[in-house]
Amino acid sequence: MNLDLLFTYLQNKLNDDLFALGLYQCILAFLVACFVSVVSIPVIIKISELKSLMEKPGERRSHTTPTPTFGGIGIYAAILIAYFLWPSIDQIDVYRTDLSVAGMTILFFIGIKDDLVGIDPNKKILFQVLAAMILIFFGDLRVDYLYGMFGLHHIDQFFSILLTCFIFIALTNAINLIDGIDGLAGGIATIASGTFGAWFLLTNHFTMACLAFTLTGALLGFLRFNFSKTSKIFMGNTGSLIIGFMLAFFAVRFVSLNASYRFDPTSFFNAPIIAIVILIVPIFDTLRVFLVRILAGRSPFSADRNHMHHILLDNGLSHAQATAVLCGASLVNTILFFLLHRNITNTQSLLILGGLFGLYMITSFMLKMRAMYIATHPRRRRAVLRRELQNGIIGKRIIDYL
């Protein structure tokens, strides 16, 4: 689709009264969510300080002062208030979006318990499965068509349930795992939810679009404080669990809608690949970390400083710089794929993604070696430490070597 055709298409959409109403609703939902997030988070910070509910610096932590970790409460409140203020324009997905809020609420309380006293990982997975099953069985939400990847099209209902549940668990935990530095999980989720929301809006799925833009607004309000030096807050497990769950919901619904309307000119014949590309940073980082841990003979769920954002910090980047690099990579990959996707098959796209993952593995290995070289050579080590001190960050590994 060239720019002239895109402009004509958007002009026709804006002339449609129903689309205009949906657009206004999405804009208002976005603004209200952002406002609620900005207003509520300072209250949460104050209560956390008064009750000493702060996350203390530690070996794997990237912060140096005790910081509140309940930003997810503000994000959750913003989503609920902004989404339920408006009547639904279309009725296609109302029940599913309501069920997604029910599943999100389950994970909200699990995340709060995890942030306060901790929770057994097996129990956390169990409740993630429960939240996913609510949408799968009551909302009839499944990935049951694979768009011809490696010759596969329709899949059996049992395997589609297992695949959909796996997608929910994998994406929920992938967002949780990249939540290690300021702005990364929030920035990636903002880009992803905004992209999904734009597609839902342009294809007249207004209820899904409203929910997606609500999450986008709530995240932008949170990021204002996540990057702050005087009133900083983390989203915590509460935030990362509900954000990961909602992004999984958007991704699965995006794939299933494109399968249902695959003969419509606005649908994508390679929707699963697009969903992967939109969430490429958390997916690639989780895969790489799990592979490295397994090859090292450790549990894939064992804790370490082997995520890409840790490696970038150990190479001397600040939180903002590392976040900009990874969010920029996500944006560039998404834009390039949208420009080029119509010229390649789904199987070829998967092979290209496999090649990109191999490049990602090589790049992370080289950066890891560079970080180790910096840590063991005094002159380079002092230069990195000076840069980190200027940025207000002191890398724990570098201090240990000192």
Q: Binding site for Mg(2+), residues?
A: 176
Separation of alpha carbons 317 and 324, rounded Å: 10
DSSP notation for 349-398: HHHHHHHHHHHHHHHHHHHHHHHHHHHH-HHHHHHHHHHHHHTT---HHH
Separation of alpha carbons 60 and 63, rounded Å: 9
Q: Which residues, 6+ apart, have CB-to-CB distance to 30 below 8 Å?
A: 82, 213, 214, 216, 217
Contact (Cβ atoms closer than 8 angstroms) between residue 259 and residue 73: no
* Distances, alpha carbon 61 to alpha carbons 20, 65, 174, 186, 304, in Å: 46, 10, 18, 17, 10
Task: Print the SS3 string covering 221-255.
Answer: HHHHHHCCCCCCCCCHHHHHHHHHHHHHHHHHHHH
* Secondary structure letter of residue 57 according to DSSP: P
Diameter of the chain by CA atoms?
66
**Amino acid in position 113:** K
Spatial CA neighbour of 278 closest among 223, 206, 351, 353: 353
Q: Name the E strands within 150-248.
A: 152-154
Task: Read off φ and ψ for residue 88, nearest 5 degrees.
Answer: -75, 130
* Distances, alpha carbon 284 to alpha carbons 36, 195, 246, 289, 357, in Å: 33, 19, 19, 9, 7
